[in-house]
Amino acid sequence: MPIFRRLHPPRGSEDSDSRWIVAGLGNPGERYATTRHNAGAMTLHHLLERTTSTLKSHKSGCLIAETRIAGRPSVLARPTSYMNDSGRPLGALLRFYKVPPENLIVLHDEIDLPFGDIRVKYGGGTAGHNGLRSIVAHLSSPNFTRVRIGVGRPRSSAVDHVLDGFTGAERKELPGLLDEAADAAERIIQWGPERAMNEINTRA
């Protein structure tokens, strides 16, 4: 598998018509559908609604929808694996479309951010997130963009926290939070990761 060595994030939609892949992370099945760990997958469904797209099975092991976001050809992807093995199907999907890691956006939960915060990050470490760790391993590169969706710091076990549902108060605010995360993904494709980080992270 090739190692991608690009050190700087790609620029926005004015550069080319290259394809983007937006992946929402989570665990499969109804048991996990509304847990904090599935915040990325829940955000993906907001993007599906915005683009009136429907997921279909793909040989990579992802459910996908081909669409356009900010005028760019884009693939919305939901790995069907468990979170800890997210990199295997996403690696296969990127190879199928011949998309470099730099054009991958990963939507994921983040316990190091308070509930309601959204941050954009390009490259860097995984902060112990098993889904991100799997993706880095299978792509042989950390050079992709992350939309970090704050789910709050756990009071005890991080595993119990992310596999539990949102509180009643959080559920009232959740639709707005997921909309903001979907907005962030759109801005990354429209502006490029660097400008999106400057605009979104500064505003937050």
**Which are the catalytic amino acids?**
37
Query: E-strand spans in 127-194?
Result: 145-150
Closest CA to 117 of 151, 155, 88: 151
**CA gap 10, 106 in Å, rounded:** 15
Q: What residues have CB less than 8 Å from 189, skipping those under 6 apart?
A: 12, 13, 20, 22, 69, 70, 72, 74, 105
Residue 193 near residue 146 (C-beta atoms within 8 A): no
